[in-house]
Structure 1
């Protein structure tokens, strides 16, 4: 495994914890703002952000399993870009399907997704900034 693997797993652990806290926080905020529809919107928004974070880190971690292969770079970028395409399509489909649903507050949903993305970016920056990665490449 590459030396970046522990850093990715640390980011995943912090991301899962942050996602759970955001689901609770936006569930409460949504409930206070507009009752049941706000609760559903807040939980779904923060949950989507958590799933998207896990897909990104999970795809990178999975792709690192092929580091010994001659086709590592191709496999790595194929897997990671494939997961990004899946996330993009899933986001568009979810946005279209949830656009006019009466049982959901779209504003709270949107704020939950945006907050989750910002928190995951902050986690990534902090984890990478505090990590110690060797200057030389991975030994073979």
Structure 2
């Protein structure tokens, strides 16, 4: 019996893998920074409710980055235009999540709403910046001569 030759990753697939890995690393850093600063400032400003508000913002930052990572992982072989379209849809989905979370926690007594709001806003802006910078600086060729 012959051993099948494993499929080699093309140059474009390898470039998308690098972009995805970079986004993963930057996303983890963003989530840790947003959570640590939100929870730390929240604790200093309003105690335990501020700490919980910062944790909600950090958790939402993680959700936003995970949504983008899933979109980019699933769309890595679809081409640049498809990924851009899916990322646009993902942005709208994140905006919808943002509105629902703000609506649900506006009257919560177990967290400081102001700390949660500002941490969530930083999470939204930060995740959008991380995504944009990573995709723009990712050097992915438009044409894959090795594709079959």
The size of the alignment, in residue pairs, is 134
Q: Which residue of 1 aligns with 2:55?
A: 43
Worse-matched range after superposition: 89-98 or 116-125: 116-125
**CA distance in 1: counterparts of 2:127 and 2:56, whole angstroms:** 16
1:8 aligned to 2:8? Answer: no
Q: Alignment RMSD, CA only?
A: 2.9
Match of 1:54 in 2: 66
Unaligned runs of 5+ in 2: 1-12
Give yes or no for contact 2:64–2:127 (8 Å, CA) kept in 1.
no
Who is 2:5 aligned against?
none
**C-alpha displacement at 1:126, in angstroms?**
4.2
Alpha-carbon spacing, 1:104–1:50, altered in 2? closer, same or farther (3 Å): same
Deviation at 1:7, TM superposition (A): 1.0
Where in structure 2 are the equivalents of 1:1-140 lying within 5 Å? Answer: 1=13, 3-65=15-77, 67=78, 80=87, 83-128=90-135, 130-134=137-141, 136-139=142-145, 140=147
What 5-or-longer segments of structure 1 have no aligned partner? none
SS of the equivalent of 1:64 reads: coil
TM-score, normalised to structure 2's length? Answer: 0.71
Larger fraction in helix: 1
Paired residue secondary structure (1:27): helix
- Counterpart of 2:7 in structure 1 is none
Which has more radius of gyration?
A: 2
- How far 1:82 moved relative to its partner? 5.6
Give TM-score scaled by structure 1 length. 0.74
